[in-house]
Amino acid sequence: MKFSYYNFEELSNKQLYYILRIRSRVFVVEQNCIYQDIDNHDIKATHVLVEKNDKIIGYSRILKKGILYKNSCAIGRVLIDKNERRNKVGDLLMKFTIKTTKFLFKNDSIKISAQSHLKNFYSKQGFIYKGEDYLEDGIPHCAMYFD
């Protein structure tokens, strides 16, 4: 497996196509959730890729403080290809994404809007649940923080 990150301008057309394709497959088709995935934040994001045999099998994006949250960086659009989820790729992706975020934005805290059923997964990564659950695009979510 290969872990890497790119700003928007560094992505090839092919990489961008496969990122948008896997995001649509996971968040729109698998989760049966109609929402606007392409939200103008991709242009400002750092894109984290997990590749296996030249195929994107995992993805996340990082937004610096002030883009999505006033006081924190954001990690979002975290996904693993359905066929790879039992292989601990999600743990490796989150470790790499957190490490990359802390490298790029040294002292900033990180906030995520996690799907509520994944609270335990993100807690194991070091995130702390704060607040109450809420609906986002019809799916229960919660705010979690990493300092």
Does the predicted model carry a pTM greater than 0.75?
yes
> What CA–CA distance (Å, rounded) separates 28 from 32?
5
Confidence grade of residue 82 (pLDDT, cut at 50, 70, 90): very high
Residue 135 has pLDDT above 90, yes or no: yes
Give per-residue pLDDT as tens, 17-35.
999 999 999 999 999 988 8
Confidence grade of residue 131 (pLDDT, cut at 50, 70, 90): confident
Write the DSSP symbol of residue 118: G
Give per-residue pLDDT as tens, 26-79.
999 999 988 889 999 999 999 999 999 999 999 999 999 999 999 999 999 999
CATH of 2-108 given 3.40.50.970, 1.10.443.10, 3.40.630.30, 3.40.50.720: 3.40.630.30
Q: Which of 132, 102, 136 has its CA nearest to residue 144?
A: 132
Position 55 scores a pLDDT of 95
Give the start-to-end residue ranges of the domains of the chain.
2-108
Mean pLDDT, the chain, rounded, equals 96
Write the DSSP symbol of residue 98: H
**Placement of tokens 């296996």 in the chain:** 52
